[in-house]
């Protein structure tokens, strides 16, 4: 008899950028590759996302996407990205879709990225029904930096606070190295939740390099601004920066950069600069760059940390303090350098590049194996489900042994 696969759902609300969905996608690949060996059962899964760019990324075999109507962010907070609806109606629609997916798919494991109960608590009802309907393990996955402590405190209250988290979640996985940044000690995660927390290390080592093909003809430096929705200032400054002789400059603008901003980059780029929207294999290009300039999003930093390439982080200065906190903590640990966009000039950046070409950075002291640790933690959480699945398979095998072959064929026909 075929072994019943473990069912996994990864949820991300996806309002700005691609960070949430890219993190979940890295986890999906790690779980799909490693969990069968740890549990003896295959894996199938659903990635729930709110960004239309997500299905452009390849999901693991046996996985699929569920795309929610999008939300964006404005001065007053969340708002519909595309639909002409009041926000309350959009949240209600998303909530019903979430409940339908969880009720229909019946996951063994659900990992919620960053926001415990989703946008305006859209996920809370679905979580409560999933808990009531059957055995499901629920995990809150958090990047290592949330925001300034006072902002994070307000958000915890908005999502229901520690009481709701303790009711709905079995564990909290923090995707970072506690020695570099401790979000409990900083006040970003309530102290009362500390017993649920497991630090996985950065989701860095093991990020796949799939193509092995460079889009550059020779050696190069690289600038990347994540999804690109707020990366135009850095990308344009970098494109105007002279680089050392013999090097090209690859500028990755991101799929969410508005078309007029991308065209502006192309118009103002120096000779030798190649501007692209995205790369099929960004990990490969980072590993082979002579130096990297980047914003401070979680996934970009993880990809950089998996290399020994010198890196200058220019963090986002608006919206959240997350990127500034991350850049400062990693710079203090000696793994990269940082500079504020407000004081960065092409001349300063050119000098930095000239000084760093030919050097490397040893990042091996950092805990970078989160993509190995997460499947191990998942296997531990899923032990009851794994045992039940194995017992059911054994029972099926025993039943088959007692039923003549002709009778089994007859029973199959009746069932159909």
In what helix (H) or strand (E) does residue 34 lie, and over which residues does it extend?
helix 19-39
Average pLDDT across the chain, whole number: 92
C-alpha of 258 from chain center? 22
406 domain residue, yes or no: no
The answer to whether residue 402 sits within a structural domain is: no
Are 251 and 298 found together in one domain?
yes
Domain residues for the domain of 243 are 220-356
| Interacting residues of 56 by C-beta distance below 8 A, sequence separation 6+ | 255
**Quick one: 344 and 382 in the same domain?**
no
- Residues near 122 by Cβ (< 8 Å), separated by ≥ 6? 13, 91, 94, 95, 98
What six digits make up the tokens of 266?
A: 């192309």
Please tell me whether residues 139 and 233 are part of one structural domain.
no
What is the pLDDT at residue 388? 59
Average pLDDT of the residues in 68-73: 95
Average pLDDT of the segment spanning 154-176: 96
**85 and 123 housed in the same domain:** yes
What's the confidence (pLDDT) of residue 280? Answer: 87
Tell me whether residue 405 is in a domain.
Answer: no
Same domain as 320, residue 188: no
Q: What is the pLDDT of residue 398?
A: 44
pLDDT higher than threshold 60 for residue 413: no
Q: How far lies 48's CA from each of 59, 97, 326, in Å?
A: 12, 10, 26
CATH number at residue 236: 3.40.50.2000
Query: Has residue 361 been placed in a domain?
Result: no
- 303-350: per-residue pLDDT in tens? 999 999 999 999 998 878 999 999 999 999 999 999 999 999 999 999
Mean of pLDDT values over 87-96:
98
Q: Is residue 362 part of a domain?
A: no
List the Cα angle 326/368/143 in 5-degree steps: 40
d(CA 251, CA 235): 7
Q: How confident is the model at residue 165 (pLDDT cuts 50, 70, 90)?
A: very high
- Lowest-pLDDT range of 154-163, 235-244, 369-378, 379-388: 379-388
Do residues 290 and 387 both lie within one domain? Answer: no
d(CA 192, CA 143): 18
Question: What pLDDT, on a 0 to 100 scale, did the predictor assign at position 185?
Answer: 98
Residue with the two structure tokens 């091996």: 364
pLDDT at 261 over 80: yes
What is the model's pTM?
0.90
Q: What is the pLDDT of residue 208?
A: 73
294 and 156 belong to one structural domain? no
- The per-residue pLDDT for 322 is 97
Residues 170 and 230 placed together within one structural domain of the fold:
no
Alpha-carbon span 130 to 167, nearest angstrom: 12
CB 39 within 8 A of CB 51: no
Do 386 and 325 fall within a single domain?
no
Q: Is residue 93 part of a domain?
A: yes
Domains identified in the chain, total number: 2
Do residues 37 and 84 both lie within one domain? Answer: yes
For 173-221, what is each residue's pLDDT tens digit?
999 999 999 999 999 999 999 999 999 999 999 987 777 789 999 999 9
Question: In the predicted model, what is the mean pLDDT of residues 380-390?
Answer: 75
**Sorting pLDDT into bands at 50, 70 and 90, what band is 76?**
confident
What are the structure tokens assigned to 301, written together? Answer: 């930093």
Q: 81: which residues sit within 8 A by CB, 6+ positions away?
A: 15, 50, 69, 70, 71, 72
Decide which of 71 and 17 is more confident: 71
Q: Is the pLDDT of residue 386 over 80?
A: no
The confidence band for 389, taking pLDDT boundaries of 50, 70 and 90, is low
Evaluate whether residue 336 is within a structural domain.
yes
Give the number of other CB atoms < 10 A from CB of residue 193.
17
Residue of 69, 84, 30, 72 whose CA lies nearest to 227: 72
Percent of the chain residues past pLDDT 90, beyond the cut: 84
Calculate mean pLDDT across residues 377-394.
74
How confident is the model over 114-134, as a mean pLDDT?
96
- Residue 184's pLDDT is what? 98
The packing angle between helices 232-239 and 259-268, to 10°, is: 20
Q: Which of 295, 300, 351 is nearest to 324 (CA)?
A: 295
Residues 274 and 324 in one domain: yes
C-alpha 215 chain-centroid distance = 25
């Amino acid at each position: 008899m075929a072994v019943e696969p473990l069912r996994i759902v990864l949820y991300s609300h996806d309002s700005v950028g691609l960070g949430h969905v890219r993190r979940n996608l890295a986890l999906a690949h790690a779980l799909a590759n490693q969990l069968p060996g740890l549990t003896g059962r295959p894996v199938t899964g659903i990635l729930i996302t709110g960004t239309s760019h997500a299905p452009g990324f390849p999901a693991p075999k046996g996985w699929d996407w569920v795309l929610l109507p999008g939300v964006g962010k404005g001065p007053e907070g969340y708002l519909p990205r595309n639909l002409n609806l009041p926000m309350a109606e959009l949240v209600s629609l998303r909530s019903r879709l979430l409940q339908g997916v969880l009720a229909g798919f019946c996951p063994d494991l659900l990992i919620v990225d960053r926001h415990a109960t989703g946008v305006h608590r859209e996920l809370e009802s679905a979580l409560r029904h999933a808990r009531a309907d059957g055995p499901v393990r629920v995990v809150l996955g958090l990047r290592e930096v949330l925001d300034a402590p006072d902002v994070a405190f307000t958000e915890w209250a908005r999502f229901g606070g520690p009481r709701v988290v303790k009711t709905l979640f079995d564990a909290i996985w923090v995707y970072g190295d506690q020695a570099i940044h401790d979000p409990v000690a900083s006040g970003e995660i309530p102290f009362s939740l500390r017993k649920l927390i497991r630090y996985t290390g950065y989701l860095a080592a093991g990020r796949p390099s799939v193509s092995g093909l460079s889009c550059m003809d020779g050696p190069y430096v690289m600038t990347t601004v994540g999804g690109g929705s707020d990366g135009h200032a850095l990308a344009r400054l970098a494109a105007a920066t002279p680089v050392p002789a013999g090097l090209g400059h690859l500028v990755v603008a991101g799929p969410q950069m508005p078309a007029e901003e991308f065209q502006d980059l192309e118009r103002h780029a120096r000779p030798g600069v190649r501007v692209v929207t995205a790369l099929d294999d960004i990990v490969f290009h980072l590993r082979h760059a002579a130096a990297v300039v980047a914003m401070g999003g979680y996934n970009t930093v993880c990809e950089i940390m998996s290399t020994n390439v010198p890196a200058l982080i220019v963090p986002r200065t608006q919206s959240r303090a997350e990127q500034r906190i991350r850049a400062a903590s990693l710079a203090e640990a000696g793994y990269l350098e940082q500079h504020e966009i407000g004081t960065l000039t092409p001349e300063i950046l050119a000098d930095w590049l000239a000084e760093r070409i030919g050097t490397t950075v040893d990042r091996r002291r950092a805990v970078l194996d989160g993509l190995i640790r997460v499947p191990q933690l998942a296997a531990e959480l899923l032990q009851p489900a794994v045992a039940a699945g194995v017992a059911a398979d054994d029972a099926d095998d025993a039943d088959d042994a007692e039923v003549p072959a002709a009778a089994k064929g007859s029973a199959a026909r009746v069932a159909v």
